[in-house]
DNA sequence: TAAACATTAATAGTAATACTATTATATTTG
DNA sequence: CAAATATAATAGTATTACTATTAATGTTTA
């Protein structure tokens, strides 16, 4: 398994970067520290200047890798969903029972994430916090439609499509497979956000994850 | 009914404004045109300068009503949720059957909104588009926790709490009433966003609303 | 080994944003 | 009518999100 995970193939739309950050020390440093800095100060306050200072490099050097901070965020979120897609493929490949497959998929997208150590420049635990706090910002722009056409959100949609397929296997007659799948993925992020900030309108407590809520929901709806 | 609706009491946290915009022509103009302008160009591109030009007034005059554009957006979204709360109270007040009550509540928060003409300075249809496209931005900031303490999101939470209470009436043994209620309200906004921008991962089509999907969900989960 | 090329750092500069402050002029109200 | 208040106009500031230029460094290859 460790072997398989280290061959992990993360696919990212090459329109998201000017120069592939995986190909140099500086690039890897940008990835690593942008995750940490966005987590610390939030994406709105994050600037290339601050990142440059942090990694003892220069603002303009970062611009050689990413056109702007929005594309860097879309890059990081694509990385996350690509990693998630891989985990999901891996976890469901040898499972023939559709219900069991659905349970595994729901668990993966709803559980609390911990760093998996296979990628030293990406801390998945911190990255997953960024996904909870900032992911919708990648979609909620006036450029969504153009960026969607360019394929910026393909990986995200692929994760959801995988769940749609499993839902259809479990119950081919359920008429809202797409909405249910996107609800689970986005809704889970939202429940995690609520448990961190608006605790009174979620049942999730401090260290809990959304797995039970969504597993119960899916079973009651589909079975 | 018209009478009742025109006595409509919208409650808004007075920390959200410097001067109450409902008390002057200019204030009402700011509300009316900020909604239209945000809808046209998006909240990110929206500035007080552009709004000033549009209403033949001055940037600095707008600052006498709202400290910054973020608070204006929170004001507008509070207005919407307060309006929604009122509609919900009105629609469920004489309904004794809990299931019917839940159906009505779900319908209200998931349906497509049309302008209701009782408030000439607020176009509810346009405002509801802003809620779909921009509402999460009011929450997803590094200031959420402070602003939540200040009560900026009270009206929103009150709408959700109303639904939580109805869910508990329908099925007192269901353990995730809070998460289900917040899922329906936020999830509905998200499904509307998807039908506008990422059509392949929702079952909602162009003019459709999320009522059927969530009514079906709630019934299967609770009954 | 030297020339060529690519990468990075440093500096400077620009337009736009998100404000604040000041003043002059209306308008309302007591 | 005087005083208080509201508004418009102007100017100014710090920060952001970049772009452009140059110089220094390292790396490749003829």
pLDDT in tens, B98-146: 999 999 999 999 999 999 888 889 999 999 999 999 999 999 999 999 9
B160-173 CB burial, b ≥16 within 10 A, e <16: bbbbbebbbebbee
Give pLDDT tens digits for A5-24. Answer: 445 678 899 899 999 999 88
Angle at the Cα of B193 from the Cα atoms of B211 and A132, rounded to 5 degrees = 105
In order of their start, the domains of chain B are 2-222 (1.10.357.10)
Nearest residue on chain B to A183, alpha-carbon basis: B187
Tell me, what's the pLDDT at A4? Answer: 42
Give pLDDT tens digits for A34-60. Answer: 999 999 999 999 999 999 998 988 888
Nearest one of A15, A163, A188 to B176, comparing CA atoms: A188
Number of CB pairs, chain A paired with chain B, less than 8 A apart: 128
Min CA distance, B3 vs chain A (Å)?
A: 33
Give A 51-110 residues with CB within 8 A of chain B.
Answer: none
List of chain B residues whose C-beta atoms are within 8 Å of the C-beta of residue A203: 175-179
At B164, list the tokens. 């939580």
* Residue B4 pLDDT greater than 60, yes or no: no
Q: Which residue from B157, B176, B204 is facing A179, i.e. has the nearest CB?
A: B204
Gap between the Cα atoms of B165 and B66, Å rounded: 34
Min CA distance, A3 vs chain B (Å)?
A: 33
Give pLDDT tens digits for B148-197. Answer: 999 999 999 999 999 999 999 999 999 999 999 999 999 999 999 999 99
Gap between the Cα atoms of A76 and B140, Å rounded: 18
Whole-number distance in Å between B201 CA and D20 C1':
43
Smallest CA–C1' separation from A52: which nucleotide? C9
Tell me, what's the pLDDT at B94? Answer: 92
Alpha-helix runs per DSSP H in B55-208: 59-63, 69-92, 98-110, 124-139, 144-149, 154-170, 177-197
Gap between the Cα atoms of B144 and B136, Å rounded: 11
* Residue B2 pLDDT greater than 60, yes or no: no
* Residue A157 pLDDT greater than 80, yes or no: yes
Distances in whole angstroms, Cα of residue B45 to Cα of each of A112, A144, B61: 35, 14, 19
B106 close to B184: Cβ distance less than 8 angstroms? yes
* Residue A88 pLDDT greater than 60, yes or no: yes
| Percentage of residues of chain A with pLDDT beyond 90 | 86
Sequence-distant contacts of B55-62: CB under 8 A, at least 24 apart: B55/B26, B55/B29, B55/B30, B57/B26, B57/B29, B61/B26, B62/B30
Give pLDDT tens digits for B71-88. Answer: 999 999 999 999 999 999
* Residue A196 pLDDT greater than 80, yes or no: yes
Gap between the Cα atoms of A180 and A163, Å rounded: 9
For residue B121, the tally of other CB atoms under 10 A from its CB is 15
Q: Spell out the residues 6+ positions from residue B84 whose beta carbon is closer than 8 angstroms to its own.
A: B108, B109, B159
Whole-number distance in Å between B44 CA and C16 C1':
13
Mean pLDDT on A82-96: 95
Whole-number distance in Å between B193 CA and D15 C1':
32
A58 is near strand C: CB distance < 7 Å = yes
**DSSP string covering A15-42, please?**
GG-SS-GGGSHHHHHHHHHHHHHHHHH-
Tell me, what's the pLDDT at A9? Answer: 76
Tell me, what's the pLDDT at B8? Answer: 61
């Amino acid at each position: 398994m460790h072997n398989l995970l280290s061959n992990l193939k993360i696919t990212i739309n090459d329109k998201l970067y000017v120069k592939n950050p995986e190909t140099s020390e500086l690039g890897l440093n940008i990835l690593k520290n942008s995750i940490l800095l966005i987590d610390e100060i939030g994406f709105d306050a994050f600037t290339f200047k601050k990142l440059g200072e942090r990694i003892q490099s220069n603002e303009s050097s970062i611009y050689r890798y990413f056109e702007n901070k929005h594309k860097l965020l879309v890059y990081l979120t694509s990385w996350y969903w690509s990693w998630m897609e891989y985990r999901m493929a891996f976890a469901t490949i040898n499972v023939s029972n559709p219900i069991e497959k659905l349970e595994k998929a729901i668990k993966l997208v709803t559980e609390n994430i911990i760093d998996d150590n296979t990628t030293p420049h990406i801390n998945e635990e911190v990255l997953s916090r960024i996904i909870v706090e900032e992911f919708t910002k990648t979609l909620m722009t006036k450029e969504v439609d153009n960026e969607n056409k360019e394929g910026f959100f393909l990986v995200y949609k692929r994760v959801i499509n995988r769940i749609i397929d499993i839902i259809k296997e479990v119950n081919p007659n359920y008429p809202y497979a797409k909405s249910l799948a996107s609800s689970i993925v986005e809704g889970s992020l939202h429940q995690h956000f609520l448990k961190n900030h608006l605790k009174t309108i979620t049942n999730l407590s401090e260290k809990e994850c959304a797995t039970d809520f969504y597993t119960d929901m899916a079973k009651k709806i589909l079975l």
